[in-house]
Amino acid sequence: MSTALSVSDLHVHLGESHVLQGVSFDVPAGGVTALLGRNGVGKTTTIRAVLGLVPRSRGSVTVLGDDVTRLSTHAVVRRGVGYVPEDRDVFSGLTVEENLRLAERNGHARYELVYELFPELRERAGQRAGTLSGGQQQMVAIARALLNENRLLLVDEPTKGLAPALVTDVAAALERAAELTTILLVEQNLRVVQRVARDVVVLDAGRVVHTGPAQELLADPEHVRRLLGVHGGGH
């Protein structure tokens, strides 16, 4: 099985804090790999470091066979990487349609796919993104990443703060997206992880402490509790 993303001995310092302390893991091509861990262990920083949004102190990042360690963020993304940030980061002053148009990278934008997954976005194309609900903003954020034919999606806590019904919709969208591309998913909701993830990488204190099949980990509640501080089966 080929590797979509390879992170090797990645170190990141944010101010005085040594957030990532030699993170290494591979994401196999196809399907969803979940990046798990307690709050503050460096999951979001790992995603941001892969993209070059935070400076990497040491280590290397290889995306789809290309070493992108020294590339700027836009150049990494142009290698075929989509990003759904933790706080959605939609452009509130732009309309939904403008948010999507901004994300277009070539003439092959997949509007049909995006509107099939999120038909509401078509109806709200002219509405300013800042006036959307949290769930609708999350749809825009995911739609932006799916608009291009990305070969790797980095998705950071897409269900955070969403109502249960919307969590189901987002999980369904991730399942559909996983048929088309590889996803590295940061997610706290273990029900979602159980539903969509094939593999897991668990971080603790800036280091990888576990890798393996998702179902194997989630089937062991004691192991889940020890690694993540929660009971298996979701919350």
Partner 1 sequence: MSTFVLLTITGLGLGAMYFLVASGLSLIYGLMGVLNFAHGAFITVGAYLAWWFGEQAGGGAGTRLLVGGALGIAGGALVAALVELCLIRPLYGRPVEQVLVTVGLALALGALVQGIWGADAKPFPVPSWMIDTTTILGANVPNDRFVEIGAAAVVLLGLTAFLRYTRFGLVIRAGVENRAMVSALGIDVRLAFTIVFALGGALAALAGVLSGVYFSVVDPGRGTSLLIFAFIVVVIGGFGSIGGSAIAAVAVGLIQQYANYYASSGTGDLAVVLLLALVLLVRPTGLAPKVAH
Residue 144 lies near partner 1 (rule: CB under 8 A): yes
What is the C-alpha separation between 179 and 21, in angstroms, rounded? 33
Contact stretch for partner 1 (CB under 8 A) within 29-37, 93-101, 158-166, 225-233: 93-101
Q: Can you tell me which of 30, 64, 91, 160 binds partner 1, judged by CB under 8 A?
A: 91
What is the C-alpha separation between 216 and 34, in angstroms, rounded? 13
Q: Can you tell me which of 83, 177, 203, 227 binds partner 1, judged by CB under 8 A?
A: 83
Q: Can you tell me which of 4, 19, 77, 146 binds partner 1, judged by CB under 8 A?
A: 77
Q: Are 182 and 145 in contact (CB under 8 A)?
A: no
Size of the site for partner 1 (CB under 8 A): 22
Report the relative pairing of strands 152-156 and 81-84 from DSSP bridges: parallel
Contact stretch for partner 1 (CB under 8 A) within 14-22, 29-37, 69-77, 199-207: 69-77
Helices (H), 28-69: 43-51
Q: Are 111 and 147 in contact (CB under 8 A)?
A: yes
Min CB(55)–partner 1 separation in Å: 9
Q: Can you tell me which of 72, 131, 133, 215 binds partner 1, judged by CB under 8 A?
A: 72
Q: Which helix (H) or strand (E) holds 179?
A: none
Residue 105 lies near partner 1 (rule: CB under 8 A): yes
Q: Can you tell me which of 8, 29, 62, 98 binds partner 1, judged by CB under 8 A?
A: 98
Min CB(82)–partner 1 separation in Å: 9
Q: Can you tell me which of 103, 114, 152, 167 binds partner 1, judged by CB under 8 A?
A: 103
What is the C-alpha separation between 201 and 179, in angstroms, rounded? 20
Burial group, residue 228, by CB count within 10 angstroms (0-12, 13-18, 19+): buried
Q: Are 69 and 60 in contact (CB under 8 A)?
A: yes
3-state SS class at 102: helix
Min CB(192)–partner 1 separation in Å: 23
For binding to partner 1 (CB under 8 A), which residues are involved? Answer: 51, 53, 72-75, 77-78, 83, 85, 89, 91-94, 98, 101-103, 105, 144, 148
